[in-house]
A and B are shown apart, each in its own frame.
Chain A
């Protein structure tokens, strides 16, 4: 506590630090909110300048960008179905339907508050227990546990946004199959990048990069939404979503308190584990919110808890990601790797000793992350009152802008044209998918969890000499896998019984 106050005083007592804090906050939010650039772009641009900064300033700046950048992408996700960054992708699932229902203010309000709450909570835990947690987490969570965690997430994916459980599972399996396109994560074997369709030979280096979930999301959600809206304009029955400035009420927050807690917890775990990070945090938070909801059928159609789950989880992952970085020198993602780079530039070694040797740096960073998350509330409130008015622009003017932003976003992801083609293809498929009762969100969940899951599964099997039962000799992994299987069985059971009940009632 004394250290925290000390860090805060150092931070706000130093004009340069305050200026960098403000710049990082606004810069991160802007870069997060504009599709096509993200906080990594900002980080890569700023990294060379950190050589001339003092080390605590540079590390503080990047951790503030991290906090606000992860939040920034939520705004476009909610208003236009375009996630500003991968971390905000699941925010689209319910955020945009809320906008359509005229609840944009509520959705953004929830995103703002939950980002802040998740971020502050993880900053607090980070301050309290970094050295302790870091060592434990890397030891307790091996590939087996990570696979089990992803499997657990997959078990509930089928219930997101589909008409029936079967259509939900088919959607998820479609996603899992798409995940196998590209270079496999173990042997580096290219899959489905060449072959023949109807006698036509094809071979593509681009496809060896695989299908990324971001262009899929942009296509399924943003592009196909433009088509759908255009059609309803042509049919003359489109209602413009009302720009709404209403913040969620306290009662509404109270109603989602468990979702928030759960996401905080999941986000925290995903953040600590090397190589997992905020994106998986958001997806797991979302799928578990569906799992535990009393009304899972409302997810994907504008449920506040969906936005809450995803935004709480991705921001609590930010604080958590600093734990392995500072305590073990293990960066979990690209932005934390850049922070690692700053340490190296200044000749410092992250690791247990940093708390003793550079405790001022550690505490100024902790304090900055804490206050950055609190500032998100204020900045977000300002945004809610201003940005939402974009919705008053007629759709025929908005539509080209959305398509443009989505195209830029898809291309800028990896600077590969294949992503743009995938986006438009997914847009066309998504347009028809909406009428069939299959779930676009399910496909996306299958795709991302499939990629991460395959990699974790392969590593686990190599470690366990290809003995599947090995999972059950590890308590955490065993618990998660059994829970996942029970979830699947009970959802199938409920579906069958539900159908029979319906039939019986009709008869």
Chain B
């Protein structure tokens, strides 16, 4: 039934093609709006220090300082899966001095009705700087199954036994993608909710679960050391690095898989010239050598990881539509 859904999600094929023309030429910055940027800006990170969002925010803050001379104070406000930071962001004056990093969690939370702020309307996305796809991983030394087909066989032979370490948040990108896959293939994999990444990885390596759902950048060290290996990629076409791993479409699941994306926002009442200046600074920051090296380490160079304001709004609105449609199918949300 989900198969019949209008493919309003993220056209990843187009996205792959779009990756090519993005050169690394130095971007032109518009003139700094009068009176702006004279004191340090605040960058709110709705997750804890040291995590993926924090690393991205600090890396982008450094890149924007390099290209535009803007100083950022990074402030972590973790809690509630990224929700707790929102009121402080909304209360900040609309003068462009407060920027918030956020991830696609905010989009699914809005689609579900957990938050009332629309990330594409109440906030203005400056840019998306990390867009990535998900994969399913097994232990490197797993002998019960070695690839997707043998895992599928194992799951069918042991109904209700095969288990997957995943995030548990109802309606999260992770669970939506997995329920689409399971519906399409008619297989059932037990989803075990682990809230901390370290526990998820430990659960797979320690043998407490059979497979893991994750994005490649987060488990890159495990992939490089051979402790984990991918058996399925949620993308339309195989990216070069994972040429041996089949995509979900190849194994017979015909849906457009949702992606994980991280980007930067200001409130929508920020003056237009300041917003555009920040957006241009973000684009220029994205193209710096330092930031490119950072993204490459995180496997964020496999598909086009950049969207400007307009592209981000499209990305967000498409994602909201997809989430709402899936929620309707699954009967969750308000």
What is A's interface to B at a CB cutoff of 8 Å?
Answer: 40-41, 43-44, 47-48, 138-139, 141-143, 182-183, 185-190, 193, 204-206, 208-210, 273-275, 324, 328-335, 337-338, 340-341, 343-345, 349-353, 414-418, 455, 458-459, 462-463, 465
Contact = CB atoms under 8 A, between A and B. Distances in A.
Nearest to B290: A51
Contacts of B137: none
A208 B79 contact: yes
A351 B193 contact: no
A462 B192 contact: yes
Contacts of B205: 138, 328, 330
A410 B209 CA distance: 37
Contact of B75 (A142, A182, A415): A415
Contacts of A205: 80, 83-84, 86-87, 115
B208 A142 contact: yes
B227 A188 contact: no
B6 interface: no
A185 B200 CA distance: 13
Contacts of A349: 221, 224-225
B160 A465 contact: yes
Interface stretch (B28-36, B168-176, B236-244): B168-176
B202 interface: yes
A193 B80 CA distance: 10
B174 to A, nearest CB: 11
Contacts of A187: 168-170, 193
B83 A208 contact: yes
A334 B225 contact: no
A205 B88 CA distance: 10
B191 interface: yes
A337 B50 contact: yes
B205 to A, nearest CB: 6
16 contacts: A185-B168, A187-B169, A193-B80, A206-B87, A209-B79, A275-B198, A330-B201, A330-B205, A331-B198, A337-B50, A337-B51, A340-B221, A344-B220, A353-B225, A462-B193, A465-B190
Contact of A334 (B48, B114, B201): B48
A344 B80 CA distance: 29
Interface in B247-302: 297
Given A143-B208, A416-B84, 17 more contacts: A40-B50, A44-B50, A143-B199, A183-B83, A188-B168, A209-B80, A209-B83, A274-B198, A329-B227, A333-B198, A341-B50, A344-B221, A349-B224, A351-B225, A351-B227, A414-B79, A416-B85
B156 interface: no
Q: Chain B CB within 10 Å — which of A40, A189, A205 has the most?
A: A205
Contacts of A185: 168, 193, 195
Contacts of A47: 58
Nearest to B77: A415
Interface of B: 48-51, 54-55, 58, 62, 75-81, 83-88, 114-115, 160, 163, 168-170, 172, 190-196, 198-199, 201-203, 205-209, 220-222, 224-225, 227, 297
A405 B256 CA distance: 52
A448 to B, nearest CB: 15
A34 B250 CA distance: 56
A459 B191 CA distance: 10
B57 to A, nearest CB: 11
Contacts of B172: 188
Q: Chain B CB within 10 Å — which of A328, A350, A417 has the most?
A: A328
Nearest to A331: B198
B202 A330 contact: yes
Given A138-B206, A415-B75, A462 B297 contact: no
A189 B191 CA distance: 16
A30 B176 CA distance: 46
B293 to A, nearest CB: 10
A305 to B, nearest CB: 31
Contacts of B195: 185-186, 455
A209 B88 CA distance: 13
A182 B202 contact: no
B84 A206 contact: yes
Contacts of A190: 80, 83, 114
Contacts of A142: 203, 206, 208
B192 A459 contact: yes
Given A341-B55, A344-B221, A462 B201 contact: no
Q: Chain B CB within 10 Å — which of A182, A210, A330, A340 has the most?
A: A330
Given A415-B76, A459-B192, A183 B206 contact: no
Contacts of B227: 328-329, 351
B28 to A, nearest CB: 27
A353 B140 CA distance: 14
A48 B199 contact: no
Contacts of A182: 79-80
B80 A183 contact: yes
Contacts of B85: 416
A139 B203 CA distance: 8
A414 B193 contact: no
A210 to B, nearest CB: 7
B192 A463 contact: yes
A188 B206 contact: no
Nearest to B196: A275
A48 B290 CA distance: 12
A36 to B, nearest CB: 13
B76 A414 contact: yes
A186 B208 contact: no
Contacts of A332: 198
Contact of B225 (A189, A329, A331, A333): A329
A324 B83 contact: no
Nearest to B294: A345
B155 to A, nearest CB: 15
Given A187-B168, A205-B87, A330 B80 contact: no
A455 to B, nearest CB: 6
A341 B115 CA distance: 32
B18 to A, nearest CB: 28
B202 A275 contact: yes
Contacts of A417: 88
A40 B215 CA distance: 25
Contacts of B208: 142-143, 463
A350 B169 contact: no
A332 B190 CA distance: 25
A414 B224 CA distance: 34
Contacts of B196: 274-275
Contacts of B115: 205
A341 B220 CA distance: 12
Contact of A48 (B62, B87, B193): B62
A188 B79 contact: no
Contacts of A273: 202
Contacts of A458: 168, 193
A48 B54 CA distance: 13
Contacts of B206: 138-139, 141-142
A176 to B, nearest CB: 18
Contacts of B62: 48
Contacts of B83: 183, 190, 205, 208-209
Given A183-B81, A209-B78, A188 B225 contact: no
Nearest to B55: A341
B190 A462 contact: yes
Interface pairs A-B: 9 shortest CB-CB:
A209-B79, A188-B169, A208-B80, A209-B84, A138-B206, A274-B202, A351-B225, A274-B198, A142-B208
